[in-house]
Amino acid sequence: MCTTSPLDFATGADHSVMKNALELAFREGRPTSYEVYVEPLQKWYHSLVGPIRRGDAVTHLSVLTRDISSEKSAQAHGVAFHRPAAARLAIRGFLAIRGP
């Protein structure tokens, strides 16, 4: 489990996008997702956010993140991007976030 918030790595509009997605998952207890561009790495990331419950309360979030830079580049050039099915299922990162 990671004790750092993903918000520590976000700036500008991306910070708001991430914060809204994380707050929505905690508040409403339903999965959500977001995409952000990380300027220092010059990469796009897509994250799936899912609530983890203890009883009826959301206590943590699971955040699965993958690099989608290749897809974004292909879209920008008007080229269809096809990733093999096995690669689409690969999980690039996992982060559990403790609730407020």
- Whether the per-residue pLDDT at 28 is higher than 80: the answer is yes
Please tell me the pTM assigned to this model: 0.71
The whole domain housing 61 covers 6-98
pLDDT digits (tens, 9 = 90+) for 29-77: 999 999 998 888 889 999 999 999 999 999 999 999 999 998 888 877 7
Domain of residue 46, CATH code: 3.30.450
Domain for residue 32, yes or no?
Answer: yes
Integer-rounded Cα Rg, in Å, for the chain is: 15
Taking the C-alpha atoms of 45, 37, 61 and 21 in order, what is their torsion angle to the nearest 10 degrees? -120
Average pLDDT score over the chain? 79
Q: Is 15 helix (H, G, I), strand (E, B) or coil?
A: helix
* Total number of domains in the chain: 1
Domain for residue 87, yes or no?
Answer: yes
Task: Give the span between the Cα atoms of 100 and 60, in whole angstroms.
Answer: 9
Domain for residue 45, yes or no?
Answer: yes
